Amino acid sequence: MYVTQTTHTQTTPPGPADRPRSPEFRLAAGALRGLRQDLFQDAFAYRPLPLAAVDGPLARRLPGRLRGYAAWAPHATVAAAGGFAALVAMADNEAGLRAVVRALLALTPVLLTLVRPTAAFWASFAATTATAITGSDWDTWPWLPSSFISHMVVLTVVAIRTRPRTAAWMWLLTAFYALFVEALFGRDYATDTGPMLFLSALVLLVVTVWHIRREARQEVTAQQTVTEHERSRRTLLEERTTIARELHDVVAHHMSVVAIQAEAAPYRVQDPPEELEKAFVTIRENAVAALTELRRVLGVVRAEDYEAPDAPQPTLADLDGLLANVRQAGLEVDKAVTGAVRELPQGVELSAYRIVQEALSNVLRHAPGAGARVEIGYVLGGLGLRIVNGPPPAPHLIKPSPGAGHGLTGMRERVSMLNGEMTTAPTRDGGYEVTVFLPVPPVTAIEGDA
């Protein structure tokens, strides 16, 4: 006889704590949580007011010593506002200890905003109450003239130093304080709650709009920085893709020559050894395989609208035709060649041609009407290029080009690919100069490496 034992689990019915909260309850809870975070949590935290930036158009015109003092302008402004409230307190009463106490009650919360802004808000309520108790003139209630000015300054400074939500809470608490004091003590006195709430709402609204505009400006600036970075990165990738497509024709030509020569070599030797024939067959197969992979790579980097050029890639021998086209566009350009002209690797020739082409295009875009000069130097270790242009005749008529900087990116990529060096700098007369050196190893070094 077998006995089966089962375990029964009883689920506790959901109670009030497990019930989903209503949207109104969640909204109220979130609002109270925000109030606690803004005005109660770390209310006495030490947060000194930072110095103002002195890189503005007005501050840059000041002498060095005054510019250092200008950084303390916000602190001086707040202190001056507190001093004005203190003077109102002393003028509103007879000279004596009571006047001094009320002046300090008006000044202290304002100065406290410089180091502990949240605590200054609560201190303003305490100072307002103490001023009303120690005051002798109750023509207005609950804010006497000095405490009215002091509280307005505190609201403004704290709102500037915090965020819009804090400004809203401060206004609501100010309204609650005013209505509460009026309900208890202010029935027989003239009230200034209306002016306080109206003026404070107006000031806090202006500060909130300022906060929103500043945050929007910061977001736009950050977005523009990211966009510019992405644009530069995309331009760099496009330039590299263009260089890869152009070099494909150069490398494919050499690989095709290797394959043809490897296939024809055995027929140039009478009765070649079998090992030699196998070696040439292997060379040809590897060359054909490399050419196939090269074409496959080109298919990856080729754009959708890319069409393979019908003509061969240009070299320095085609530079005269380029200069003729540039002259027809209105650019006066001269060419100077130094050193023994010799045939260079096709990649170097192509890169040199493209660098000169892009440099002259930049002259046409950024310095229309200026003359240019192209210098080509054949030296023992490589090829030197120098493209320099004079200042534009009418620089104030030049419109900014949307493509500024992209040509330099392409030139730097070509120079970097060939382990060369490139410098760009304005000239003393207001023109621009591009200097490039492309190293070319000696023929003996190439053969030794092979």
* 3-class DSSP string for 296-310: HHHHHHCCCCCCCCC
All residues at 6 or more sequence positions from 186 whose CB lies less than 8 Å from its CB, including other chains: 141, 142
CATH fold group of domain 316-449: Heat Shock Protein 90 (3.30.565)
Half-sphere exposure in the Cβ direction for 48 (13 Å, CA): 5
All residues at 6 or more sequence positions from 155 whose CB lies less than 8 Å from its CB, including other chains: 121, 124, 167, 170, 171, 174, 200, 203, 204
Query: Do 162 and 120 form a contact (C-beta atoms < 8 A)?
Result: no
Q: Tokens 């006066």: give the residue.
A: 332
Q: What pLDDT, on a 0 to 100 scale, did the predictor assign at position 85?
A: 94
d(CA 296, CA 319): 31
Exposed e or buried b per residue across 29-54, where buried means at least 16 C-beta atoms within 10 angstroms of its C-beta: eeeeeebeebbeeeeeeeeebeeeeb
Half-sphere exposure in the Cβ direction for 306 (13 Å, CA): 14
Q: What pLDDT, on a 0 to 100 scale, did the predictor assign at position 181?
A: 87
Peptide bond into 312 cis (omega under 30): no
Domain boundaries, the chain: 26-191, 233-301, 316-449
Residue 184 in tokens: 């208890």
Q: What pLDDT, on a 0 to 100 scale, did the predictor assign at position 70?
A: 85
d(CA 438, CA 351): 9
The one-letter amino acid at 201: A
Exposed e or buried b per residue across 113-139, where buried means at least 16 C-beta atoms within 10 angstroms of its C-beta: bbebbbbbbbbbbebbeebbeebeeee
Radius of gyration of the CA atoms of the chain, in A: 40
**Residues comprising the chain, all counted:** 450
pTM value?
Answer: 0.58
Looking at the DSSP bridge assignments, the partners of residue 109 are none
Q: What pLDDT, on a 0 to 100 scale, did the predictor assign at position 306?
A: 52
Distances (CA, A) of 381 to 61, 387, 443: 52, 20, 11
Looking at the DSSP bridge assignments, the partners of residue 385 are 376, 436
Residue-level pLDDT, tens digit, the chain, 450 residues: 444 444 444 555 554 555 677 887 787 788 788 888 889 988 899 999 998 887 777 777 777 777 778 889 999 999 999 999 999 988 866 667 888 899 999 999 999 999 999 999 999 999 999 988 876 665 677 888 899 999 999 999 999 999 999 999 999 999 999 989 888 876 566 788 899 999 999 999 999 999 999 999 998 988 888 888 888 788 777 777 777 766 666 676 667 777 777 777 777 777 778 887 788 788 877 877 777 766 666 665 555 555 555 556 788 989 998 898 888 888 899 999 999 999 898 888 888 998 998 899 888 888 888 899 999 999 988 999 999 999 888 765 555 454 444 578 888 888 888 889 999 999 998 899 999 999 987 754 444 444
391: how many CB neighbours lie within 10 A of its CB? 17
Q: What pLDDT, on a 0 to 100 scale, did the predictor assign at position 309?
A: 53
* Residue 75 dihedral angles phi and psi, to the nearest 5°: -65, -40
The runs of H, that is alpha helices, within 46-191 are: 64-70, 73-91, 97-112, 117-134, 145-161, 164-185
